[in-house]
Structure 1
Amino acid sequence: MSEQTVRLLIHGASGRMGEALLRLCAEQGGCQVVAAVTRKSPAQRVIDGVPFFAAKELSGVPAFDVAIDFSLPEGFDPVLDLCVVRGAALVSGTTGLSDAQRAALDEAAKSIPLVWASNFSLGVAVLTELVERAAAALPGWDCDVVEAHHSQKKDAPSGTALTLGEAAAANGAKVNYASLRAGDIVGEHTVQFTGLGERLELVHRAGNRDIFARGALHAASRIAGKPAAAYRVRDLLN
């Protein structure tokens, strides 16, 4: 299905990621937004040819192949349920999910293809795999995850830093974290492995936030039509 036009539902369309998804899908082709869903009732029903719906109208949206969800935990359950009912795929980057919602994701993966990630950058997907390989190959080395973000970001370490740290820890590393909040830094992550007399640094720097929306659109184009399962972004790179 990745060679065909993928019909998308954008859930959380009024947020920063939702707006980027709408703009990039219109620019790059290969996808068609058949419904944009916002938490509140939209001021306009159709914008640039895209029909808008309020969250309370979610059950009435037209047929879609993939829902891309960047919303809030309180809005997550209805879109997951809709995907299961419709047999559609789900791509979600909504953070702050509860244990019950994570369990619901696992259960949904038995009937639909889905991917949840804290970061949809394709570069970070590759970085995570490299971190796993390095941690497994360098037992006993110190491992530090250093991340920097803009001064308004409240959580520390970042979700991406924790994901990278979990990847290292799962392969034997003991992980330390350091966080920096300054200026308008979009996002920088360094995973450093230090041994006697040598140091390995794996680094990813985000130049703009569009990379996350592009990654989500890439994942949506690859996951449509796949068998039911929980996928990682890196499973959908090719």
Structure 2
Amino acid sequence: MTYNVHGCVGVDGGLSPARIAKVISQYQPDIVALQELDVGRIRSGGEDQARIIAQNLNMEHHFNPTVRIAEESFGDAILSTYPIHLVKADALALKPRFSFLEPRGAIWIQIKFQNMTIQFINTHLGLNGPERIVHTKELMSEKWIENPECIGPVILCGDFNARPGSQIFRMMRKRLHSAQTRAGHSRHKKTWFGRWPILCLDHILISPEVEVVKIEVADSYLARLASDHRPLIADIKIKKTSTLPDYSI
């Protein structure tokens, strides 16, 4: 699952990490990529939203702050029912010409599942087109996706702030495949805006070893209220190869 939680503020104006956790629990994902979380911020009551959501779901988590001001943080997280091995949590390069924009980052974890290792990367790209291109080039470089450690099944997901036909999406698809396309959807399901989604901005991309059994955009009553984005959920399994058995996760 990938889910931009909008600081846990819903389209009804309600602030509730617990409600976000309830939305997630309705779909019982094993791994969750979250974007736009507050930790210790006055505007959200000083709560650690990542920790609250993870505790409510009994999942492990790692939070990556992309913005820090004094004791306040804002950023992204990964939650998992499996033990998390953190490979990297870092900022994406902030070029001088983009210095006025909100900093962006990514988290890369490994999930060991029996005798295989899954690479899982969560990111939240910006609203500025040229900046997204710079950050996508970085993500697809040896710093992340082309890193020698990033082998085996790879999942890259998050809020890309870009449509499926965008330049950055085409750049990513030189190496990875859209889970929605692999599931047989000719049109990508829309994930933004809350009650009546009009755009697909949230994506799950996968390497060839990953098969998509099912993909859906959450459409429960709570999912329509809890954030301005809807969660995107993919049920996947790993193809059999000489080294990787077939498992559903």
User: One fold, TM greater than 0.5?
Assistant: no
Band of TM-score, shorter chain? 0.3 to 0.5
TM-score, length-scaled by structure 2: 0.35
Higher Cα radius of gyration: 1
The TM-score, its normalising length taken from structure 1, stands at 0.36
Q: Which has the higher helix share?
A: 1
